Each structure stands twice: as C-alpha cells, then as structure tokens.
Amino acid sequence: FALFSHLPISIAPSRNEGHTAREKQPHCHAYLLRCRQEQDAHNDISTWRFSLEGVQDSKRHGFADLHALLAFFTADNSIRKRWK
C-alpha cells in the first residue's frame, strides 16, 4: 500500500454529478501477490521473485524482479488512466 499511497485515486463517487454509483465506480483489478526469495547455491546471492494471480480470472503473471512487477501495472492502460 505504501508504494501507491501517493497516487491520486478517487474511489468514492461524487453525489452531485447525476450518475448512479454503479456507473461511477472505476474498473477494479484485484490480484493475489506472492513473493518468494530464491537463493543461488553457487554464489550465495538471493533474488526476489514475484507473481500475481487475478482474483476474477485466475490468470497468473510471473515477474523476475520488482521492476518487472511495477512495469506490469504501468503498462496496463486502464490503471494508468486512473492514476493521472
């Protein structure tokens, strides 16, 4: 949560715009985030790996590092529009 707390995302619909609350709700993405630490037996270096599983569709996405995980969210156009 702390990584994204600075982003201006409004979830609560405004009451004075004349639309129903259902129309105003943003498209929701829910994921289960898994993090695991892999240890390299040869040089004693550990690496973090990440995976996301979509709650709605059970699709899995694997990421080799934190940068790849964050790139997934910035590449999703619907998420990027909400953050502007």
Question: Average of pLDDT values for 33-46?
Answer: 88
Q: What does the mean pLDDT of the chain come to?
A: 73
For the chain, give every domain's residue range: 29-83
pLDDT digits (tens, 9 = 90+) for 19-37: 555 555 566 778 999 999 9
The model's pTM is 0.55
Greater confidence, 53 or 29? Answer: 53
- pLDDT number for residue 6: 47
Count Cβ neighbours within 10 Å for each residue of 13-38 and write b for 16 or more, e otherwise.
eeeeeeeeeeeeeeeeeebeeeeeee
- Distance from chain centroid for Cα 8: 15
